[in-house]
Structure 1
């Protein structure tokens, strides 16, 4: 990795890659220092090892999920409709715009190509805006709560050719659906499935609760560590699959030779299924609150021939551990909480089960440091802490902490 930097014509307005002008080796050093400052002393006190951050060989094109908002921009049309067919939304001339929100605002910055996205993604999202404009599908007006097309989200396979396009609308009714699908397939032949997601709430959240498949199977597949996973329109799936493999491999190493594993916050089962796939004698229980994710995890287990050794439960993990966890005799617990981290109640529940090993996968080292302090008070020591750079050109850093019972 040389000391080169990357340039982007909209970097100043977009703000998404806040460290784009910083040479990548220096980005990695900053992230390593952040982890050292927050957890270095604890690791040394426990006699553990703080490893060097795992970065990318080439920190470009790593995002395999991309999204855009839509809005109507008054003024001259962006496409050539002709003088007798002006583009209208309401009473004014203009066009549908898409791209990224400027940092700290809801002003859309158009983007033709993004350095960190899969090269297919932005072209597909821009094509959606052009098709919607041509078919007179009005963009959502967030001030008035009117219009139809709010967002589009595209997921591109890393080790497959699948491409899932999700159109987020304000209303269930989407007129001229067949014509819309035909136009999108003509413009984006690589898309393998199109889903309408309905979000009728006045919210900044992109996705709503209802989905309708317009074309294809309504989901896609991708692969991690030799396992194949179904990804639906609302599934959580890491956006940087190359580094996800690094992250998950570290988690599996942290679980060591555990034969009975609890995968808490399991989502669609990706970590737990990879753990079962890696060791034929290993069995896994995954616990997840979202019932749709649990159903998907079950299908993923069948796809990967580990259904006989993987069981997924729709429940609150803290309550489930207190109710049923003691009967399971887990050797290792893998926890992968959201950015807010875990809770004292969950951590106490983990310690009460007395597994020999705990693996804590984190996307926020600040909340992880808080939670690891509790685990250490409850009888665990940090054996290994491994930072992973999942989001180059940003300040974010992921970490995998492997702990053993004292």
Structure 2
């Protein structure tokens, strides 16, 4: 029996006129032809254009913009010369007002799609006064092209590297460090890693900078222990990179897209660099997670503190605590804060940061939040007044969500970088007796489609 072919309203290589209605989460324009979505890069809602269909699937297709007939009032000229090829940013062709509005709409649409709710207050997105040069960390893959080492970000939807001399969203000190190290590696003819063959030495150049401390860490991610001309490389980086505080080698032998391997060696300098958020100091080790936008991180954490509504006598649990940044922000106003994180190295950093900032009322544990939090309750009698979660993109483990519902804290503060999984988890918490009071989007990643949110939930089922 032959499969019945589904008739599509568009065909590959067809050229047609469309009007764009929306944007995808990757920043492509969305036009519909007889209800069939067509995704086209470099298009904005409201614009009318001729497009060429380049690929079709059962549920949607892709097109290329050929000629624009009308231009959105929100369109701007991207200042980056490689913007149309590089995959690092998606929204440089859209003004800031429209970017902030788009990100709020992402959240509203997710709440409607995954919760069926249109009544949850979603505040206007909090943006930056200067939405450029904000990143304090760069992870730049390297490759070889025409016999020469190149370094840059991957092109959209590919592993093809776009060579980069300057990145407009990287902090200036970081940006300069990447270019200096790139030229040093060329000078000593260090062989770039080749994904296909698995041969070569250098996989990534990583630069991390403490915005207020001025300290810079450079990490070379290598394909094995051997690093040719190691002493000369270290001396060159020491003398040529401004603010250099630490030089590190990370060894990743696996054939994988994951950036870091398990082994890290300090080649010169300190194990940590320092970053500051508000009054707090944070020691950052080579692989520790920390928000990449320190200016907006302070905005985000202040909103967490406001939503937590602490008065000095509360017990707080910070699940997915990382290096303890949110824990310490809340410790000043809480009686006790418990933080849990699955990565042992991050917990070591968290304990160091608690001492650095003189907070004896914070306790950190290594493990999965969905296992440690119930143990705290059963073995130590911990009853939380406030629980804060800041999970990865996949959202909270369902067991942790059920544990939070069973613990009945008065307030839950949910920090999320993924509106879809946020909405899914809010649905579970809402069914478990919590009212979603307010969602506050914060633009942590200007010029990209990513959005961070802080959500406040309060318990609506009271004990009799």
TM-score (norm. length: structure 2):
0.79
Partner in structure 2 of residue 203 of structure 1: 256
* Greater fraction helix: 1
Report deviation, 1:118: 0.6
Report deviation, 1:5: 5.0
Pairing 1:35–2:107 present:
yes
- Extract unaligned runs of 5+ from structure 1: 75-93
**Partner Cα separation in structure 1 for residue 218 and residue 175 of structure 2:** 12
Partner in structure 2 of residue 339 of structure 1: 393
Partner in structure 2 of residue 384 of structure 1: 438
CA contact (8 A) 2:108 2:118 kept: no
Map 1:194-273 → 2, pairs under 5 A:
194-257=247-310, 259-273=314-328
CA contact (8 A) 2:136 2:293 kept: yes
Which structure has the larger Rg? 2
Q: Secondary structure at the match of 1:31?
A: helix
Partner in structure 2 of residue 367 of structure 1: 421
Partner in structure 2 of residue 57 of structure 1: 129
Pairing 1:154–2:226 present:
no
Query: Would the alpha carbon gap of residues 267 and 254 (structure 1) be closer, same or farther in structure 2, given more than 3 Å must change?
Result: same
**Partner Cα separation in structure 1 for residue 87 and residue 198 of structure 2:** 26
**Partner Cα separation in structure 2 for residue 169 and residue 177 of structure 1:** 12
Partner in structure 2 of residue 402 of structure 1: 456
Partner in structure 2 of residue 129 of structure 1: 182
Partner in structure 2 of residue 311 of structure 1: 363
* Residues matched between the structures, number: 381
Report deviation, 1:214: 0.8
CA contact (8 A) 1:163 1:191 kept: yes
Pairing 1:299–2:371 present:
no
Partner in structure 2 of residue 116 of structure 1: 169
Per-residue deviation, residues 296-353 of structure 1 (Å, max 9, x unmatched): 10000000000x2000001211112222225111110000000011122110011111
Report deviation, 1:49: 3.6
**Partner Cα separation in structure 2 for residue 105 and residue 33 of structure 1:** 27
Report deviation, 1:44: 6.5
**Partner Cα separation in structure 1 for residue 424 and residue 117 of structure 2:** 13
User: Considering only aligned residues, what root-mean-square deviation do their CA atoms show, in Å?
Assistant: 1.7
* Residue in structure 1 matching 2:403, options 349, 358, 363: 349
Pairing 1:98–2:151 present:
yes
Q: Indicate the larger mover: 174-183 or 59-68.
A: 174-183
Per-residue deviation, residues 13-54 of structure 1 (Å, max 9, x unmatched): 103211110111011111112222333787765xx6432110
- Extract unaligned runs of 5+ from structure 2: 1-73
Map 1:60-75 → 2, pairs under 5 A:
60-74=132-146
Pairing 1:8–2:80 present:
yes
Q: Indicate the larger mover: 387-396 or 265-274.
A: 387-396
TM-score (norm. length: structure 1):
0.90
Q: Secondary structure at the match of 1:345?
A: helix
**Partner Cα separation in structure 2 for residue 250 and residue 24 of structure 1:** 21
Q: Secondary structure at the match of 2:84?
A: helix
**Partner Cα separation in structure 1 for residue 412 and residue 84 of structure 2:** 42
**Partner Cα separation in structure 2 for residue 36 and residue 72 of structure 1:** 43
Q: Secondary structure at the match of 2:138?
A: strand
CA contact (8 A) 1:3 1:25 kept: no
Partner in structure 2 of residue 81 of structure 1: none
**Partner Cα separation in structure 2 for residue 359 and residue 403 of structure 1:** 6
